[in-house]
Amino acid sequence: MDARVEERAHVIRDQALERVVDRRFEILGRDPGRVDRRTRAARRTTLVLIALLTVGTVGGLVVLALDVVDKAYSHVGATALLGRGAALWVTNVVVFSLWFWEVDRGGAAERAAVSEIPPSFGFPEEAMRELVPDGWIPRYPDYLYLSFTNATAFSPTDTLPVRTWAKLTMMIESVISLITAILVIARAINVLPG
């Protein structure tokens, strides 16, 4: 694959991600400041968009693997490789934080409506109610932190998965993060002078 085809693939991917992000902001724009409308269409659209972001993340992992393994991509320098690896890792964290945020307890709208859907994660705030305000529920930064620590430690830290889907999703995120780190480190060792 020559550099023009590779560049075109990156442009197409970036344009697709841009459309997905624009669509997500359009959905949020209908209800600014809160996500408490419980409509099937909004939930379905959100899940489809997150699934597309997930496919893009896995596609980025494949491209990174090709950059590292395929001799045709040996022209990719250490800086570009580290940049691609870092971008993929950050995307992985954000995408899985969105999965956790959208699926735990039925999603943000169900949590805002104080639905009876059981939690999929055990947050430390729930074990120490005296340290948090009354009516505390997890918000997006809690899921972002969960995703960040899972991608960094390759395991749960202070928030534990209590449902099978949560355990499997955290496992997939850890695998993507681990493969990304292995690929970048392996290539960096080969690129380093000396």
- For range 39-63, the mean pLDDT: 87
Report pLDDT digits (tens) over 135-150: 888 889 999 999 999 9
Report pLDDT digits (tens) over 117-133: 999 999 998 888 888 88
Report pLDDT digits (tens) over 75-97: 767 777 788 888 889 999 999 99
**Band of the pLDDT at 32, cuts 50, 70, 90?**
very low
Segments making up each domain of the chain, as ranges: 3-191
The partner residues of 187 in beta bridges, in order of sequence, read none
Radius of gyration of the chain (CA): 19
Give me the sign of the Cα torsion angle 83, 85, 87, 89: negative
Where in the chain does DSSP place strands (E)?
Answer: 121-122, 160-161
Q: Give the pLDDT score at 7.
A: 65
Q: Mean pLDDT over all residues of the chain? A: 80
Q: Give the pLDDT score at 135.
A: 83
Q: Which of 5-9, 46-50, 80-84 has the lowest mean pLDDT?
A: 5-9
